[in-house]
């Protein structure tokens, strides 16, 4: 029974605890814990480091031991990171897909409808501009010149 629990711990650790939580050694300063947490939460690394220093100042050795425990519990990020199935979500501001993060909340429905309305208005303006050109005398003149 004890051996099964140890294998379970090791396999869960190796898989990032089922939520993609790893240490990021290449971008880390000491053990990569802060940069790994920043990657997982989708925030800047300096923010997590600042929070760690603040915790160290206010809690003393408790934050230090917490960092050591996280260093042991979190596995290093695999070298093939990003190639496995990662849950993605659509970023409407950049019109592309990105990795789903913990602290990213989608826009309010009102804001999303507003963005959709803006896109539809832009498309309508482009269609109206094309209709004006196709029905103009300039289009007829350009078409006659292209036949020559």
Residue 65 structural domain? 2-79
User: Would residue 6 count as lying in a domain?
Assistant: yes
Residue 142 inside a domain? The answer is yes
67 & 115 share domain = no
The verdict on 6 and 73 lying in the same domain is: yes
Please state the pTM of the whole predicted model: 0.47
Which DSSP state fits 144? H
Q: Spell out where the chain has E strands.
A: 88-91, 96-99
Same domain for 113 and 73:
no
- Among 61, 79, 97, give the residue marking a domain's end: 79
Give the mean pLDDT per block of 10 residues along the chain (148 residues): 55 62 74 81 83 88 85 75 60 72 72 89 95 91 87
Q: Tell me the per-residue pLDDT of 19-40, one tens digit each, with 9 for 90 and over.
A: 667 777 777 778 788 888 887 7
Rounded CA-CA distance 143/127 in Å is 20
Claim to verify: residue 55 and residue 118 sit in the same structural domain: no
């Amino acid at each position: 029974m004890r051996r099964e629990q140890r294998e379970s711990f090791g396999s869960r650790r190796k898989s990032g605890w089922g939520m993609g939580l790893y240490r990021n050694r290449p971008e880390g300063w000491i053990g990569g814990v802060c940069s790994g947490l920043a990657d997982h939460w989708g925030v800047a690394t300096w923010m997590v480091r600042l929070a760690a220093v603040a915790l160290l100042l206010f809690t003393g050795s408790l934050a230090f031991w917490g960092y050591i425990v996280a260093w042991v519990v979190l596995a290093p990020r695999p070298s093939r990171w990003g190639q496995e199935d990662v849950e993605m979500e659509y970023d409407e501001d950049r019109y592309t897909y990105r990795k789903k993060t913990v602290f990213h909340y989608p826009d309010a429905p009102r804001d999303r409808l507003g963005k959709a309305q803006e896109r539809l208005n832009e498309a309508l303006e482009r269609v109206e501009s094309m209709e004006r050109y196709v029905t103009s005398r300039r289009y007829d003149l350009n078409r006659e010149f292209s036949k020559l």
